A = this chain, B = another copy of it.
Amino acid sequence: MSAAAAGLRGEHFLAGAAETEGGETFTAIDPHSGKAIGPSYAEATAAQVERACAAAAAAKLPLLATAPAQRAALLRRIADGLLELGDELLTCYCAETALPKGRAEAERGRTVGQLRLYADLVEAGSWVDARIDRADQQRQPMPKPDLRRMLVGIGPVVVFGASNFPLAYSVAGGDTASALAAGCPVIVKGHPAHPGTSELVGRVIHDAVRALGLPAGTFSLLHGRSHEVGTLLVQHPAIAAVGFTGSHRGGRALFDLAAARPEPIPVFAEMGSMNPVLILPRAMAARGAQIAAQLAASALLAGGQFCTSPGMVLWQRGAGDEAFVATLTEQLGGAAAAPTVHPSIKSGYDAAFAELGKLPVEVTARGAVGDGATAVCLTLLSASAAAVVANPRLRTEIYGPAVLTVGCGQRAELLQLAGSLHGHLTATVHGDGDDFAEFADVIEVLRSKVGRLLANGVPTGVEVCGAMVHGGPYPAATDARFSAVGPTAILRWARPVCWQDWPHELLPAELQDHNPLGIRRTIDGVVS
């Protein structure tokens, strides 16, 4: 049994019970060797999906009825449990993904931080945006009723584990943590690239739910490698919403399934992004080489497998861009081959390059060729603005370590290129002095297409805080009105409910006159 298998039993966690049964089996793959590691995991069956969904449906109202402090306790217990797993979790994570231990530790830290953030948020309670408009019996021509509104969890959420974030966007990741915080039961479909990591984390949640006496259907983890498990989950009438981080193809398929249901449900899919980087003339002239080095380091992080990885650079040709291109070529061409987290990432990367062969785009540098089963070499590409505007494929992400450079001629070309872009998670602008004012129109076009706009930095590194927006216009995400990161991510799983002239003692605590939870509320239009 390999290192990844320590403590693993190949278990689903199905509404309070651990079970290994199921259909066809699969294992994790060591990205270095391409060999199977760890125990076998059985594909969840339709009957198991049905049981998980029925249990989640049964847990819906009881879980909503729990006090915020109980849900906070659950999240904190999960956070503690992840840390208690210690090296077992880190070892399994690294074996399944070929990501380094430092990354595993950092991601665990972020995951634990997210769980605690949502615990604090739900315990503080003000996220429910309570609004009270009091009655006025004297109002003419009609008396005004008493109206009280707050956000309430929408019900069972299906979360799809992400291949590139086995902790922070998987079983106990941001989607799960924010949904549980909102009082929504969660069914996770584990990503088949890291079933062991999923199992370890799933057991922590399973144990925490039991220890706190919460309804069994509060949490399930189902394994699966085919699309069937996910399809059945998204189509199940008990499911109220879906969270997904991954490829455009996968996210769109889930969105389409959800939209075609008799009762459509929201899908929050965070998908691909090229994260365009615009370098303006003064910055290019003053520090082209330095920007190139900064950008190369960002593009190389995690083998280009961050959703915020910079995949496209645009600039107006002029002073400094030779040094910029030379440095970028040198740094990326000299890069070591990086293993991707799963063979499917490598095959997708290779397939994308096969497609590009037919398009007017030039490979200007390639990193070292690796010998691991999933290793891809970094690729630097160059195309003209006209080619990018004419070929949508060139404006579409290549997932993995690839950077497309587009040196533009006239200023108008830059504006046209920016206008041709679809939605992205981020756009970055490097500028000095009057650059920003001079290119205000181009920047405003970029702003209208992204969730986050950065100056003089790199898009990788997603701060978990209230001002963060991780999302953006399609196809960066399926609903630009919400962020997948930070406290506002909880808003994806809630809806407003209004109580009119309701018996005061039967109102939720958040809406009672004496404000027993001490939350911030808007009363007759005034926030206090």
List chain A positions with a Cβ less than 8 A from chain B: 60-61, 64-65, 126, 131-133, 142, 144-145, 147-149, 154-155, 255-256, 259-260, 263-266, 422-423, 436-437, 444-445, 447-448, 450-457, 461, 463, 465-469, 471, 473-475, 478-483, 488, 491-492, 494-503, 506, 520, 522, 525, 527
Which residues on the B side are within 8 Å of A437 (C-beta)?
506
A290 to chain B, nearest CB (A): 16
**A12 CB to nearest B CB, Å:** 28
Q: Tell me, rounded to whole Å, the shortest Cβ–Cβ distance linking A527 to chain B.
A: 6
* Cα distance, A436 to B142, chains bound together (Å): 26
* Chain B residues within an 8 Å CB radius of A260: 256, 259
Give which listed residue, B444, B445, B457, B527, contacts A527 with CB less than 8 A. B527
A499 and B453 in contact (CB under 8 A), knowing A147-B468, A256-B259, A465-B147? yes
Q: Is the CB of B259 within 8 A of A149?
A: no
Are B461 and A501 in touch, CB under 8 angstroms? Answer: no
Contact (Cβ within 8 A) A469 B452: no
Partner of A255, one of B65, B142, B259, B457: B259
Instruction: Give the shortest distance, in Å, between A140 (CB) and chain B (any CB).
Output: 12
Taking the full assembly, how many copies of this chain does it contain? 2
Contacts of A503 in B (CB 8 A): 436, 455
Q: B131 touching A467 by the CB < 8 A rule? A: yes
Please name all residues of chain B whose beta carbon is closer than 8 Å to the beta carbon of A155 when the two chains form the complex. 448
Closest chain B residue to A477, Cβ basis: B495
Q: Is the CB of A498 within 8 A of B467?
A: yes
- State how many angstroms separate the Cβ of A266 from the closest Cβ of chain B: 7
Given contacts A436-B503, A469-B496, A482-B496, 16 further A-B contacts (CB under 8 A): A61-B444, A131-B466, A142-B461, A147-B468, A148-B467, A263-B423, A266-B481, A451-B495, A451-B496, A451-B498, A453-B497, A453-B498, A455-B500, A481-B491, A481-B492, A481-B496
* Contacts A/B (CB < 8 Å), 24 sampled: A60-B448, A65-B444, A133-B466, A145-B457, A147-B463, A147-B467, A149-B468, A149-B469, A256-B260, A263-B422, A264-B474, A266-B479, A436-B503, A451-B495, A451-B497, A453-B498, A454-B500, A455-B501, A466-B522, A468-B498, A471-B496, A473-B495, A481-B494, A488-B496
Residues of B within 8 A of A498 (CB): 451-453, 467-469
